[in-house]
Amino acid sequence: MKTAREYIDSLRDRDIKVYIKGELIDSDKVIDHPFIKGHVNAASMTYALAGSEKYEDLMTTTSHLTGKKINRFTHIHQSASDLVKKVKMLRMISQKTGTCYQRCVGFDAMNATYSVTYDMDKALGTEYHERFKRFLLYVQENDLMIAGAMTDPKGDRSLRPSQQADPDLFVHVVEKNEDGIVIRGAKAHMTGMVNSHEMLIMPTMGMREDDADYAVCCALPVDAPGVIHIFGRQTNDDRKMEGEIDQGNAKFGIVGGECLTVLNDVFVPWERVFMCGETPYSGLLVERFACYHRQNYGGCKGGVSDVVVGAAALMADYSGYGKAGHVKEKINEMIHLTETLYACSLACSCEGKPTESGAYFVDPLLANVGKHNVTQLIYDIDRLAQDIGGGIIATMPSESDLRNPEIGKYVDKYLKGVADVPTEDRMRIGRLIENMTGGTALVESMHGAGSPQAQKVMYSKLSNLEKKKEFAAHLAGIHSDKSEEE
C-alpha cells in the first residue's frame, strides 16, 4: 500500500494536461496549484489513514484476488459487513477532512464493473471479467487512485446520443482495430480526476441498440495522449490564492475539484476495454454504479455534517448563545437530519446481497432513498447552520483586514464574541461555516451520484407498487384474483 507521500509523489510522474482559468498548468506542478492542492490533501488522507493502526479495520482489508492486505478503496466488497465498513470509513474520513476526498467514485466504478463484466461474460461468452480482474490486480498492487468517469455532457437532454446534432456529446467509439479502440467525447463533473492515476470510463445511461457505439466501458491513464482536463470553478476558489482564514478549510478545500475531461480520439488497448457495444448491459452498469455511489452519501455527507454541526455549535459558544433553547433545538434538529442520512446508508449496506460474481451489492431501493434524502436534508442542515452562524458569515472582513496594522485592531475588537475566545478563532469558524454551507458544497449534495429525479425514477422500478395495491385491496375487502393470500 502507498503512503500519502508516495501517493503524492506518484502523481508528479504523470504527463497530464490540466487547464485552470484558461491556462495550461505545468504537468509536474498541477498538484501544487492552489486550486488543486487541497483536493490532493483530501485524497491523500485515504492513503494516510490506511497506514494508521487506529483505523486499520475500516481502511484496509484483504484482497479476494491475492489474499494480501489492501487499501479498502481498491477492494471488491465480499460481504455486507464490507459494505457497512465502507460507510463508516467514509463518515470517519469526512469528519477529518470536512470535504470530498474523491476516491469513492473509482471504488464504486470498479465494484460495478466487476459484477457486470461477470454477468456479460456468463451470458455472452465475452472475456471482459478476466480482463477486468487483471486491471483490478494492477490497481490493488499499486494502490492506485481511479477516477470513475460516467457523466457525459449530454447536450439536448430530450434527445438520445445518436440523435444529438453533435455526436460527440456522449463518449463513443470512433474506431476499432486490432490493438484496441479509439474514443471521442468528454466526461463532465470529473471528481478527483486531476489527482488520479487512471480513469474508468462507463456509459452514462442505458443505451438502445442504435446507440451501440456509446456503450463503452474502459480504463486509461489520466495522462493518455488526447486527454485534456479543464478544471471547473468552485465557490470562492480565488481565495486559495491568498491567505488561510478566508478559505474556511485551508487544508482540504471544498468538495471534489471537478473538471471537464475532454477525450480527443484517445486510444485504449483491448486489454483495458470492458464493454464495447453490449447495449443491454450499459443500463445495468449505470444502475450498479449509481447504487454503490448513492450508498456513500449518508456516510460522507454524514461526516461532513458532523463538522457543520460542530462548527455551528462552536459559533454559538463563541458568540454567547450556545445555551439558548432555540439554538439547542436547532442543533438537535441538525443531528437528527445527519443521523437520518447515515441510517439510510447503513440500511442499504446491511441489506447488501451477493451478485453472481460474488461481489456484494447494496439494497438498491434503500441506496436511492439515502441519496434522495441528501438532496434535501443537507439543505436543511446547512440552512440551520447559517441560522446559528449569524449574519457575520456573509459580511465578515477579510483576513487581510485582520492583519492590517491600521485597522486590524478594529476587526479584532469588534468581531469579538465571548471575552475568552480569540476573535481570530471566531472568524475561522465563521469562514468554515461559509465554506461548508454555500455554493458548490450544496450543489454537490444535490447532483452528486445523480440528480433527485434520477432517484425518483428508480422508486417506480424498485418498490413493487403492485404488491402494495394487493395489500390494500385485501384489507379493504376487495376480492380479486390478484388479492394477497394470507
Asked if 340 is part of the footprint of its own copies (rule: CB under 8 A), the reply reads yes
Contact with its own copies (CB under 8 A) among 50, 245, 286, 374? 245
Contact with its own copies (CB under 8 A) among 13, 166, 210, 271? 166
| Distance, CA of 477 to CA of 138 (rounded, Å) | 61
Residue 453, judged by CB atoms within 10 A of its CB (0-12, 13-18, 19+), counts as exposed
HEC sequence for 85-145 = HHHHHHHHHHHHHCCCCCCHHHHHHHHHHHHHHHHHHHHHCCCHHHHHHHHHHHHHHHCCC
Is-catalytic flag, 297? yes
Task: Rank residues 45 and 144 by Cβ distance to its own copies and give the closer one.
Answer: 45
375 is in an annotated binding site: no
Spot the catalytic one: 100, 218, 259, 348: 100
Using the contact rule CB under 8 A, the part of the chain among 66-74, 198-206, 252-260, 278-286 near its own copies is 252-260
Asked if 24 is part of the footprint of its own copies (rule: CB under 8 A), the reply reads yes
Asked if 163 is part of the footprint of its own copies (rule: CB under 8 A), the reply reads no
> Whole-number minimum distance, CB 264 to its own copies, in Å?
8
Spot the catalytic one: 198, 278, 287, 444: 444
HEC sequence for 41-74 = HHHHHHHHHHHCHHHHHHHEEECCCCCCEEEHHH
Asked if 475 is part of the footprint of its own copies (rule: CB under 8 A), the reply reads yes
| Span 48-77, contacts to its own copies by CB under 8 A | 48
Please choose, from the candidates 183, 200, 247, the residue with its C-alpha nearest in 3D space to the C-alpha of residue 41: 247
C-alpha cell at 264: 480527443
> Whole-number minimum distance, CB 10 to its own copies, in Å?
21
Asked if 379 is part of the footprint of its own copies (rule: CB under 8 A), the reply reads yes
Asked if 266 is part of the footprint of its own copies (rule: CB under 8 A), the reply reads no
Is-catalytic flag, 300? yes
| Distance, CA of 249 to CA of 401 (rounded, Å) | 19
Task: Rank residues 120 and 255 by Cβ distance to its own copies and give the closer one.
Answer: 255
Asked if 413 is part of the footprint of its own copies (rule: CB under 8 A), the reply reads yes
Is-catalytic flag, 218? no
Asked if 226 is part of the footprint of its own copies (rule: CB under 8 A), the reply reads no
Asked if 158 is part of the footprint of its own copies (rule: CB under 8 A), the reply reads yes
Is-catalytic flag, 350? no
Is-catalytic flag, 61? no
Asked if 429 is part of the footprint of its own copies (rule: CB under 8 A), the reply reads yes
DSSP letter for 285, please.
H
DSSP letter for 223, please.
T
Q: Which residues pair with 267 in a beta bridge?
A: 182
Please choose, from the candidates 365, 471, 19, 399, the residue with its C-alpha nearest in 3D space to the C-alpha of residue 240: 399
| Distance, CA of 386 to CA of 389 (rounded, Å) | 5
Please choose, from the candidates 202, 255, 258, the residue with its C-alpha nearest in 3D space to the C-alpha of residue 229: 258
Largest CA distance in the chain: 85
Spot the catalytic one: 33, 47, 75, 104: 104
Asked if 119 is part of the footprint of its own copies (rule: CB under 8 A), the reply reads no
> Whole-number minimum distance, CB 335 to its own copies, in Å?
5
> Whole-number minimum distance, CB 478 to its own copies, in Å?
5
Is-catalytic flag, 485? no
Asked if 91 is part of the footprint of its own copies (rule: CB under 8 A), the reply reads no
| Distance, CA of 147 to CA of 106 (rounded, Å) | 5
| Distance, CA of 193 to CA of 443 (rounded, Å) | 19
Is-catalytic flag, 444? yes
Please choose, from the candidates 366, 338, 332, 369, the residue with its C-alpha nearest in 3D space to the C-alpha of residue 352: 366
Asked if 321 is part of the footprint of its own copies (rule: CB under 8 A), the reply reads yes
> Whole-number minimum distance, CB 400 to its own copies, in Å?
3
| Span 184-203, contacts to its own copies by CB under 8 A | 186, 188-189
Spot the catalytic one: 61, 97, 117, 191: 191
Asked if 375 is part of the footprint of its own copies (rule: CB under 8 A), the reply reads yes
Please choose, from the candidates 231, 193, 69, 253, the residue with its C-alpha nearest in 3D space to the C-alpha of residue 143: 69
Give the residue numbers marked as catalytic. Answer: 100, 104, 191, 258, 293, 297, 300, 444
- Binding site per annotation, positions: 191
